[in-house]
Structure 1
Amino acid sequence: MSSHREWIILSKIPHLGPKRCRQLVEHFGSPKKVLSASSSSLLRVPEMGEKIVSSIIQERERIEIDEDLKTIDKLVMHLISFQDDEYPRNLLHTFNPPFLLYVRGSLREEDRDAVAMVGTRRATTYGKIMTRKLARELAKEGITIVSGMARGIDTAAHWGALEAGGRTIAVLGCGVDVVYPPENRKLMAEIIESGAVISEFPLGTPPEGVHFPQRNRMISGLSKGVVVVEAPLRSGALITADFALEQGREVFSVPGNTTSPYSQGTNRLIKQGAKLVEEAQDVLEELDLSPLGEMKRQKMSSRGKLSLSLEEEKILDLLGGQPSHIDLLVQESSLPAPKVAEVLMRLEIKGLIRQLAGQQFVKEA
């Protein structure tokens, strides 16, 4: 991509939006040429009225992005425009794809085989268990799990993928430099390590309610199918399901307790024709993704072996087939207790160890 500066400035001009930004770049050839165009030239572009052109002329000189560029360098993020080869193919071929993506982590070609998992923020224990189970099973088959990093079902979906050593993508309704919800800071760091955190919103954008429907179209657009786990009748997850249908994606639904308000939306989806899901195989067969598993499991296994830190290797070497208490691991590793607890969590997420009752840990076979 050419200079980040012009792409960022154009994307931040009020009243433009992704569709008009794409039209302008396609018409003039580059954001730099758009930002240097005269009023008369801009007015000749279809759907560019005087209000829009006036906004471009006024704002292109006012918008400051020096802090944006510093943050991009500091957080080691990169930008992907709709013209770049790295732009996700699934998303590009949807109605009104984002003009510019801010990415922390990495997007890969294998992420085209992705399944979105969405649901209520007020998830029940049943919903969280089912979500983690399905995400874990799908990730073990090499499927990338896409969700929104919100509380509840989204959080469970990301953790399930990470527990399997798989890839996961979080699509935010705010800037990628904003941690929302704040308690998911650790989860966000793990996702960046094993997938990507992405957004089309400029840096520093707060998580306002109006952003989430726009975010939801990206979640479904990145995926080949959307699994709704728990959702009341009025839910953002159902908006994502609607986007999925508009984009030609498959919609799946996990049945729930008929007396629970958090299952009314999912049960209604099943009545309306969504495929009922009880296990990952239901999704894999419908999307014809079953043959992917073995090949991708080998790739994930190889990556996992190469990504261990010295501290992770040290703790892993201390563990065997018999349970070891965390206090013993602290003593034998000579590492601080908080650091040992952190390393144990990372190893558990990578599927290399398992926690037993009483803070006992054992190496997975």
Structure 2
Amino acid sequence: MKDETELKYALALCLVPGVGGITAKKLISYCGGVEAIFREKKAALLKIPGIGEYLATSLLNQEVFDRAEKEIVFLKKHNINAFFYLSKEYPSRLKHCEDGPIMLFTKGVANLNSSKVISVVGTRSITAYGREQCAAIIEGLKKHNPLIVSGLAFGVDACAHKKALDEGLHTAGVLGHG
């Protein structure tokens, strides 16, 4: 994100207990923006469907901003990019998923809005034959210059990433967690 203030508000929203993608998007829609959420009075937040006492109180807790500032220091120190779901760098296809994450973190260079994206998934217990086939598939895709995406697990995922890097292709590993 370009603006550190915007990043702080976005990270703070992610750090509020009980706020996931769906709730965050609802809050942004009702309040008019991520910063506006934190400027709302508790009474106004309580009028938003699905926002109860606990969540309204949590949204007004200064502690999330303190934690967000620490996260910003960590992101800078480790050269990690953060993309809020309203930023142009956020994958446009993912914006259409109701429960998609509101924040993505990346390290390195990859266009998450590439027009050609191939997702590779498979067993963690890859055989020699599976490794050969995976490598052949990735090699065959090289001429199309796709972004190779997987969950970064052992086996097929790792094979696909290694071969993609050997072929000079960009890769993205998506780590699944809540």
Q: How does 1:175-194 map to 2 (within 5 A)?
A: none
Give 1:62's aligned residue.
63
Any idea what SS the aligned residue of 2:120 has? strand
- Tell me how far 1:75 sits from its aligned partner: 1.9
Give 1:179's aligned residue.
none
The 1:167/1:69 distance shift into structure 2, 3 A limit, reads same
Q: TM-score by structure 2 length?
A: 0.86
Any idea what SS the aligned residue of 1:145 has? strand
The 1:157/1:109 distance shift into structure 2, 3 A limit, reads closer
Q: How does 1:1-365 map to 2 (within 5 A)?
A: 1=1, 2=3, 3=5, 4-57=7-60, 60-63=61-64, 64-108=67-111, 111-173=114-176, 211=177
Tell me how far apart the structure 1 counterparts of residues 30 and 169 of structure 2 sit (CA, whole Å): 40
Confirm or deny: 8 A CA contact 1:149 1:171 kept in the other structure: yes
Higher relative contact order (CA 8 A, sep 6+): 2
Confirm or deny: 8 A CA contact 1:136 1:163 kept in the other structure: no
Tell me how far apart the structure 2 counterparts of residues 107 and 43 of structure 1 sit (CA, whole Å): 40
Amino acid at match of 1:30: G
Tell me how far apart the structure 1 counterparts of residues 114 and 175 of structure 2 sit (CA, whole Å): 17
The 1:9/1:110 distance shift into structure 2, 3 A limit, reads closer
**What is the aligned-residue RMSD (CA, Å)?**
1.9
Amino acid at match of 2:81: H
The 1:48/1:97 distance shift into structure 2, 3 A limit, reads same
The 1:109/1:14 distance shift into structure 2, 3 A limit, reads closer
The 1:123/1:109 distance shift into structure 2, 3 A limit, reads closer
Confirm or deny: 8 A CA contact 1:86 1:107 kept in the other structure: no
Tell me how far apart the structure 2 counterparts of residues 88 and 66 of structure 1 sit (CA, whole Å): 25
Confirm or deny: 8 A CA contact 1:27 1:45 kept in the other structure: yes
Extract unaligned runs of 5+ from structure 1: 174-210, 215-365
